[in-house]
Amino acid sequence: MNPEEATAAGIPESAQQWDEVANSTDATVFWDRMTNMRSKIGTGLYQPGEDAGDEDWSSFVSKASELSGGRLMSKPNFDNAEQSNDFYATLGRPEKPDGYEFEAIEGMELDGERQAFLSGIAHEAGLTKSQFKALDAQIRKADLTQIQAQQEAFTGELGTLKQEWGLAFDDRINQARKVVDAFFPHIAKDTPLSAVEIKAFHSLAKQLGTNSSEFKDHGRQQNTVTSPAEAVTMISEMRNNPKHPYNNPQDPAHNEAKKKMRSLYLAKNGQA
């Protein structure tokens, strides 16, 4: 609208530079625009001033949330239980602890009591359903991986010990277990013993068999099987001792020594 038309339409000269006037093709368009602008008066959002109270801010937040279609969220007063609960519910926390879900992980099942315990903690912490499910799953998978690694190490150490002891393995485990049963009753009978524990308890069994007639007389000490490592040592001692009957065919004990040597080689090779 040019100045002449604006003047003719009764628009003050001070307002004729407004974009609403300059961009209007005629007076009718201008007044339509002004009518539309007036319809928006009262719907604008204005931040409360420095002296505004809680009611003013609450009204501002409510209006902002309404105008944004619920896309805006205000920080609650976490000391206020109602505001805090509303906030967590908006984020996605279930209404009650039993609303959480657990991922099914083979080998890491949870009983009902454990699930209730974890759900209660998650609800108190304000976790959403997706947050809790992901967190719980990752923790249990990590625990399962660690347990499997420990089991593999446990089995590997037992395998190494079995190879070291050869045919003496079962006999020495029995000796170790008898020591446990006799002197460590707090260890359950079905508790698997590690390789380190087996060696320690077997060593104790050997000492008891030597120094304790009571332990020996009760048949708890039966060190009758030679391990491959022990056989190698004994073979070397017999062969390198010129005074040993094995090295003297004229010695009356020579034949017995030969039998002993054969048994040691069988033990060395893991044979009966």
Each residue of 83-124: pLDDT tens digit?
777 778 877 899 899 999 999 888 888 889 999 999 999 998
Cα separation values, 233 from 209, 245, 268, Å: 22, 17, 10
- Cβ-contact 177, 185 below 8 angstroms: no
What pLDDT band is residue 25 in, cutting at 50, 70 and 90?
confident
How many angstroms separate the CA atoms of 12 and 100, rounded? 67
* pLDDT value at residue 196: 92
Mean pLDDT within 129-153: 91
* pLDDT value at residue 160: 92
* pLDDT value at residue 41: 64
* pLDDT value at residue 1: 73
Phi-psi region of 242 (alpha: psi -120 to 50; beta: other; left: phi over 0): alpha
Window from 63-67, 105-109, 214-218 with minimum mean pLDDT: 214-218
How many angstroms separate the CA atoms of 101 and 149, rounded? 28
Kindly tell me the sign of the dihedral angle through the C-alpha atoms of 249, 252, 254, 255: positive
Structure tokens at 18: 């407004």
- Cβ-contact 236, 261 below 8 angstroms: no
What pLDDT band is residue 194 in, cutting at 50, 70 and 90?
very high
Mean pLDDT within 219-238: 72
How many angstroms separate the CA atoms of 140 and 142, rounded? 5
Structure tokens at 165: 């002891």
How many angstroms separate the CA atoms of 141 and 135, rounded? 10
- Cβ-contact 261, 240 below 8 angstroms: no
- Cβ-contact 122, 157 below 8 angstroms: no
* pLDDT value at residue 224: 59
How many angstroms separate the CA atoms of 136 and 115, rounded? 10
- Cβ-contact 239, 228 below 8 angstroms: no
This prediction's pTM: 0.47
* pLDDT value at residue 210: 53
* Calculated CA dihedral for residues 104, 109, 114, 116, nearest 10 degrees: 30
* pLDDT value at residue 138: 93
Q: Which amino acid is at 227?
A: S
- Rounded to the nearest integer, the mean pLDDT of the chain is 82
What is the Cα Rg of the chain in Å? 44
What pLDDT band is residue 218 in, cutting at 50, 70 and 90?
very low
Structure tokens at 48: 């409360």
pLDDT at residue 6 greater than cutoff 80: no
